[in-house]
Structure 1
């Protein structure tokens, strides 16, 4: 092939006129084996049509760009090396040097390109690429030097003039015309949805007055204002001093046969009110409704005043998504067998949302809430009320962080109230874990489940174990602490988890200051993935298979390294990697830009794992064959692995991990 292939990214997003314009700005360039591009050649953009080109920096081999049976790599020879902060690698300002001195220094930090075999390149005029970048935002993002922008362009999966951004040869399913719209809808602010009017009455108003207010306003709820007191946390008035009374509460009062003209609203209203900020996006509102099983969310402005109420029906009408239908199925399940139906629907929901181009972080958080709903309902079906009220189920690992998509190993525990006992607790735990296994959540190979007595204990015993794990240096102690640091509430008495989390903070502050250093060391245990691209270069027309373990090479180093930074900085109240990065950035530990890059990198690895799982039905999917990726995906994979490498180097320096 000696022409530009417009079916492959990044050029598949061009309009017909843009394609014709670009064709006029290209020419074929031949490089014999070992021949290098000259300094003048470095002002162009290249597509590898045949052969293989190697990129070097100061004599070190960095990347290979090749033409494969699946897609052709490209590179922008104008791109110059920068450090993790985006600054040029050369340290001195050219204004302080004469031209010859700067030219010599600058040339030593330029990328070099030479042919490893006879190669054909399509040389594209740089001015044409620049014009396209100005005209076409998709091209601009795809060729951006900012990884976050390129990730955004990749996740959008949008159309440009009828040409799919990612055609069928990429991992995952083909794209439909509604995908970009679905993605954009989920990222709209909650104020994009019509909100219900705010009607507030006093806590001392009667239920009759509340019912009359609802009828007059045409609503099925009314907000209830409670008089602020010190005991009710005046700094969190929207949580403690504002409640909601619904038509269901009125019906409950009627069934109790109380006098509606004398009964007070405060006796029937719910004051633990869940809210959303007007700045949060729709996906966060949907997540809150699923997680807390509520049908209405008051929306707060910057002063934390209620500006409207977001109703479930309005939200669903806006999105036309069906995650809330799964929630309804879970609520209506009256047996373990009937609970299997919504669990299967969760898998279908994941596939649909991923094919619709919804970001992996949004899907994973919603799936976490749906799974928690299933686990809570299952526990309700198994245990009597007394056990439910005196225990707390938590999930850990990727499920606790909200970063698990497909159903992999269970990681759960049962915290028991001090002094409470039930002779059947072990049997309840056995039933719970094995019922989940039958639903497709495999048993944990490491036995981090409530069937293990270590993970089914009273709160005080859990605290003693945590103190022991911080004081000793057994390998399994770091694993157990990592699990517990990711713990997320599922059901029961949440105060039990809060008490354990506070003890984690106390135990860490009392531990050896060098503890975090050893804890962070695990992020480096799997080594580097270096020059993997050489392994899939075509050999007699066929690529050699060389799979990369995405969990070992990318996900685990990022997750555990960020977990270690969070532990060092007493960030224990949040468990997701994204939330930890946000707080690390707010404390100045890392820059906001670096936090965004690390999060986008993690989500790229997660999305690739999901692609593999959906394509192969392999729920433990970890390995990706680079030869099966598009050129764009390979390029992003290289970039993301470089981000992981630089992050691991930051950990080495911060914790002096190369020093014995």
Structure 2
């Protein structure tokens, strides 16, 4: 029996007896440097697990400079797809002397018959494999504390409903009898919500009589979720909208209510503590203290295995609240309704995990009058620096007059950039396309975005110029074999993140999609039929993988300044499964770039 480590996927998908069969049925084979292990077109006869050495996956139909499409090192497995497909699509060749464990076809097919999950692993998309990796981490001792798995339906309360004509006194008695903090008010056409605080303010501050109808103190702008949404999403919504409860609706039907206290019974209170500190901050010093705790929250979320999308949503909501609070401290209230503060870049897309440079701008109503505008914008920039948001090296900040203007001025800028179509103009269009309003009047941004869509979405020539940037950086698949030293690595931002973000941004511009998050844009493109749902999911998982690998690298050097944060990932430091996922994710990027090239005629540019 061969002593081989079978503690990694996909061997964890078979039982102990199956793993014993593997050890008894495996052999060891030696391959010399440059020896072909599997030839393209060869019938699959064995599965190989590398013990020592490196193997290249080659496409002999391509030029030598681009023939390498994969690279395998110790712990990697290859040859299974050749068996499942009948023959090998590519050549596998030893790059140096190799020792491999060899599993014969008969044993592999027997394992597939008896363990469907094992067989399915080789047929699954990137998104399924990424989920397996997350589950594996949880089994390895990283507690998820329900972050990913808990659904709203698991902890929603039965709704307490009262007719709109019910008097306030009866509503108070009903709340006390039910030990509830809120009730829903039913009118002929909609539901409203009333809390104990609303009732108290109605009687004490607004002088309502005890006999007044409860509908007079109700709020009808409800924050809603569905029963099947993740509970973590409810927490994000509460943070974003500054509420302590959400109403559960399904296809227009009321299902229940989720209170913040219910959510906290599932989650570590750390995220709420930071949110609470932000909301309770009554000075810039207090706000800065809360802001400084966000890296601590990032570490906690990552340690607990929270799905990256949820973590990004929560941190985007928190950063938005911090910036909104700073705005309220610095900007006089009379200017709030006639202006919109927008954040752009990764913050605008909601994809910022660690704080990065400021990327912000200001939209003013055409009839606004703001004599102290320049001074106030300089003060806001300095305040954000105080809160841990460094100044933008490209000077894309409200302290730069170029990024402050009325609605009409912004529309004129868009027309000028579209006409110029040079690199700087296209960059500015991309920056504006990712803008998200965090303070002031969001309708001003809606007006500017509508003008951006009107100018660009049907302009085929502009879209071609705009999309071209997605192909600027090569996909680093062929670099794997040369990464010998830990200090080397691949630039995951240029090679993986940017092509997905900008390619999806281009498609969103063409389809007039208002969402700014890349993952939300992918969902919208799939619903629109512009992307196959499976491919959209795989692009989203690839982006999440790249972001997580980069975040790990950055958290390891958390003491470094923003400028020193690395976008490079050293392949040799990754686990076997992570290398497999990275390789597959980069193939998806390569495929996406080919699709972009075809759609926007980039092969002729």
Q: Normalised by the size of structure 1, how large is the TM-score?
A: 0.84
Is 1:187 aligned to residue 149 of structure 2? Answer: yes
Q: Alpha carbons of 1:455 and 1:267: their partners in 2 closer, same or farther (altered >3 Å)?
A: farther
Q: Alpha carbons of 1:424 and 1:516: their partners in 2 closer, same or farther (altered >3 Å)?
A: same
| Partner of residue 585 from structure 1, selected from 492, 501, 526 | 526
5 Å-filtered alignment, 1:314-463, equals 314-463=262-411
Is 1:248 aligned to residue 210 of structure 2? Answer: no
Q: Distance in 2 between matches of 1:409 and 1:342?
A: 19
Tell me the equivalent position of 1:30: 30
**Partner-residue secondary structure (3-state), 2:219:** coil
Q: Distance in 2 between matches of 1:135 and 1:253?
A: 67
| Partner of residue 152 from structure 1, selected from 131, 138, 142 | 131
Contact 2:475/2:496 (CA < 8 Å) preserved in 1? no
**Partner-residue secondary structure (3-state), 1:507:** helix
Deviation at residue 18 of structure 1 after TM alignment: 4.9
Deviation at residue 372 of structure 1 after TM alignment: 0.5
Deviation at residue 26 of structure 1 after TM alignment: 1.3
Deviation at residue 308 of structure 1 after TM alignment: 0.6
Contact 1:562/1:581 (CA < 8 Å) preserved in 2? yes
Q: Distance in 2 between matches of 1:281 and 1:16?
A: 34
Q: Alpha carbons of 1:536 and 1:421: their partners in 2 closer, same or farther (altered >3 Å)?
A: same
Q: Distance in 2 between matches of 1:527 and 1:111?
A: 22
Deviation at residue 75 of structure 1 after TM alignment: 2.6
Is 1:49 aligned to residue 10 of structure 2? Answer: no
Contact 1:392/1:492 (CA < 8 Å) preserved in 2? yes
Q: Alpha carbons of 1:223 and 1:657: their partners in 2 closer, same or farther (altered >3 Å)?
A: same
Q: Distance in 2 between matches of 1:207 and 1:392?
A: 38
Deviation at residue 468 of structure 1 after TM alignment: 2.4
Tell me the equivalent position of 1:484: 432
Deviations 1:208-257 (A, max 9, x none): 343233234332222223454xxxxxxxxxxxx33211111122123326
Is 1:630 aligned to residue 575 of structure 2? Answer: yes
Tell me the equivalent position of 1:554: 496
Tell me the equivalent position of 2:585: 640
Aligned length: 594
Q: Distance in 1 between matches of 2:118 and 2:372?
A: 62
| Partner of residue 58 from structure 1, selected from 38, 48, 60 | 60
Is 1:178 aligned to residue 127 of structure 2? Answer: no
Is 1:520 aligned to residue 464 of structure 2? Answer: no
5 Å-filtered alignment, 1:1-12, equals 3-6=3-6, 10-11=10-11
Q: Which moved more, 1:37-46 or 1:365-374?
A: 37-46
Q: Unmatched 5+ residue regions in structure 1?
A: 83-87, 89-105, 165-175, 229-240, 538-542
Contact 2:44/2:105 (CA < 8 Å) preserved in 1? no
Deviation at residue 277 of structure 1 after TM alignment: 1.4
Tell me the equivalent position of 2:237: 288
Q: Distance in 2 between matches of 1:127 and 1:295?
A: 59
Q: Alpha carbons of 1:206 and 1:410: their partners in 2 closer, same or farther (altered >3 Å)?
A: same
Contact 1:142/1:154 (CA < 8 Å) preserved in 2? no
**Partner-residue secondary structure (3-state), 2:366:** coil
Contact 1:138/1:153 (CA < 8 Å) preserved in 2? no
Q: Which moved more, 1:109-118 or 1:442-451?
A: 109-118
Deviation at residue 139 of structure 1 after TM alignment: 5.4
Q: Which moved more, 1:617-626 or 1:594-603?
A: 617-626
Q: Distance in 2 between matches of 1:137 and 1:282?
A: 31
Is 1:602 aligned to residue 543 of structure 2? Answer: yes
Deviation at residue 81 of structure 1 after TM alignment: 11
Q: Report the aligned-residue RMSD.
A: 2.7
Q: Unmatched 5+ residue regions in structure 2?
A: none
Contact 1:226/1:242 (CA < 8 Å) preserved in 2? yes
Greater RCO (Cα-Cα under 8 Å, separation 6 or more): 1
Deviation at residue 597 of structure 1 after TM alignment: 0.6
Is 1:214 aligned to residue 175 of structure 2? Answer: yes
Tell me the equivalent position of 2:555: 614
Q: Alpha carbons of 1:223 and 1:194: their partners in 2 closer, same or farther (altered >3 Å)?
A: closer
**Partner-residue secondary structure (3-state), 1:407:** coil
